[in-house]
Amino acid sequence: MLSFARLDIQPLSLGSEPATSIRKLFMLQGQACALAGSAGLYKAYQLPSGKALTLRNPEWLMLGPISSQGLVASLQGKTVQVSDPGRGIQQDWADLDFNGGTMAWNPAGTRLAVASGNQLYLYGTDGSKTSKPLKSQPGTMFWLSDNRILVLQGQPGSYEASILDPETGNTSALNGAVAAALKTLTVIQPG
């Protein structure tokens, strides 16, 4: 049985920023946050308090998926780059065989999955690196738990979904009801 608790909606105040300038929502160390601004001038805020976060390079939050630890992953051509907007540090983590791909952080923010070509690359914040072959290139990935990544392929309204085991590279089908519901999903990329 699915139930929803009542949500209390409060007006959002982000200092001098109008709430309509929110560009990205993300979680940082268990706290909901928002990135607001435009034209390269960005500020990050805790929600719902509106307290500004102190980041050296908040614009880096626009580059790609944000880990729960505040790291941002991006693909620069064939290079996987990880940035720390809080400390102002960017590092190249790896060079891939193919341009482009899709990326997702694990819930703890300690491992990054990168699917490029027909390979799944796993990079750890501890320096670990592994790769596994994939049957096909995922369109979008959402890391659900340490051993489950939701993979979506196709276009909105006709997604094909499966669960990917990041340790083996094997995929398994979703049950029929879940798969049918995901076909009509509108994807909003998380942080």
Task: HSE, CB side, 13 Å, CA atoms: give it for residue 129.
Answer: 7
CATH 2.130.10.10 fits 19-183, yes or no: yes
Rounded CA separation 154/127 (Å): 33
Instruction: Give every CB contact of residue 107 below 8 A, 6+ residues apart in sequence.
Output: 68, 143, 144, 145, 146
Q: What is the pLDDT of residues 91-144, one digit of tens each?
A: 999 888 877 788 999 999 999 999 988 889 999 999 899 999 988 778 888 898
pTM for this predicted structure = 0.78
**Domain boundaries of the chain, sorted by first residue:** 19-183
Q: 89, 118 in Cβ contact below 8 A?
A: no
Question: 58-96: per-residue pLDDT in tens?
Answer: 999 999 999 999 999 999 888 999 999 999 999 999 888
